[in-house]
Amino acid sequence: MENTTTTTNTTKRVFSGLKPTGQLTIGNYIGAIKNMLNLQTTHDCFYSVVDMHSITIDIEPALLRKNSLDMLALFLACGIDPQKSTVFIQSHVKEHAELTWILNCFTMMGEARRMIQFREKSKENKQNVNVGLFDYPVLMAADILLYQADLVPIGKDQKQHLELARNLATRFNNKYSPTFVVPDGVFNKTGAKVFSLLEPKSKMGKTGDNPGGIIFLLDNKDDIMRKFKKCVTDSETEIKAKTTKPGISNLLTIYSQIKGVSVKDAEKEFAGFSYADFKMAVGEYVSEFLGGIQKEYHRIIKDKAYLEEVMKSGAEKARLSAYRTLDKVKRKIGFII
């Protein structure tokens, strides 16, 4: 499908959001934030802490507030620049909720029921299968379409959700005239998925996994080194990326993505190393890299006035764009403005 409308200039617009249900990990940095940093130099980027998505699970209010501020501060500490990108908290822009309701009325029950993640999350949270969890993909579509995003950086597990956003945009455009950009996905070709250090066939997640297999961006050096020391490898000795060596392959991916070299170059660098020395070398490099981010994070998180200003200015910029889209939508469906 081709885009039926476009943003107001030749610069492509990007929307990306991360959910503050847990601490950010090295997997989030490699799979999402690194790409966000690259895109902000060439695109018009809208980056959001999507806290409205977080309440589909049971989360303590104080923890949600802390996680949201931590995520915002880490965005900034990693290099996301509020002078280059629009950085905001999702719930500060009421248009997300309004557009979600409207899009609900253009979403068929059949296509909503087909969402794989709803079925998976329902199995994980059998005591809290709420309507919000079912409606999550429509809110995600509203997030994207509200800002007329041309591109959405996503993982393969979000591909079905993006397709729903594309279908809703096309359906609305066909019924009322061109209104929404039909977005395309941006997929990382390398380093898109980082796995648990203890279970190298399972994706490294923010929540739910054994924390011993997760490198959080705010882990101290001792914890990082301990986790790398205990990470699962195999019974061989060769440091090569192979499907039969998921643990070693995972470490090579982490190292190559953080250092900005190819996996082949990383293999050459560690040729002849023992597994123990290899794990410690990767741990040292990762802890040194994260140390720089952590230093900046601790400076930012203490500066409440700066964080307030980023949130305020980001919400104002986001709402200006969101209002324009929602105003068009309301007029076209017949609401009195």
- Tell me whether residue 84 is one of the annotated catalytic residues: no
Distance of CA 103 to the CA centre of its chain: 22
154 confidence band (pLDDT: 50, 70, 90) = confident
Coil vs helix vs strand at 130: coil
User: Distance between terminal CA atoms of the chain?
Assistant: 31
Cα dihedral 158, 163, 165, 167, rounded to 10, equals: -170
Check pLDDT > 50 for residue 232. Answer: yes
HEC states along 199-268?
CCCCECCCCCCCHHHCCECCCCHHHHHHHHHHCCCCCCCCCCCCCCCHHHHHHHHHHHHHHCCCHHHHHH
DSSP 31: I
| Mean pLDDT for the stretch of residues 77-84 | 97
The secondary structure of residue 3, as a DSSP letter, is: -
Tell me the average pLDDT across 143-152. 97
The yes-or-no verdict on residue 176 having pLDDT over 80 is yes
CA distance 225 to 287: 8
Is there a contact between 321 and 85 (Cβ–Cβ < 8 Å)? no
Rounded average pLDDT over 262-287: 96
Among the options 12, 34, 206, 245, which is catalytic?
Answer: 206
Superfamily of domain 13-187+304-333: HUPs (3.40.50.620)
Using CA atoms, how far apart are residues 129 and 138, in angstroms rounded to an integer? 16
pLDDT confidence of residue 8: 44
Interval 287-327: pLDDT, tens: 999 999 999 999 999 999 999 999 999 999 999 999 999 99
Q: How confident is the model over 110-140, as pLDDT tens digits? A: 888 888 777 777 777 778 788 888 899 999 9
Given 203, 221, 259, 317, the catalytic residue = 203
* Per-residue confidence band for 158, with pLDDT thresholds at 50, 70 and 90: confident
Mean pLDDT of the chain: 92
206 is catalytic: yes
Domain boundaries, the chain: 13-187+304-333, 211-298
SS3 15: strand
**Model-level pTM?**
0.91
Residue 64 has pLDDT above 90, yes or no: yes
Write out the CATH class of domain 211-298.
mainly alpha
What CA–CA distance (Å, rounded) separates 213 from 198?
A: 5
203 tagged catalytic = yes
Q: Which residues pair with 302 in a beta bridge?
A: none
Position 12 pLDDT exceeds 50: yes
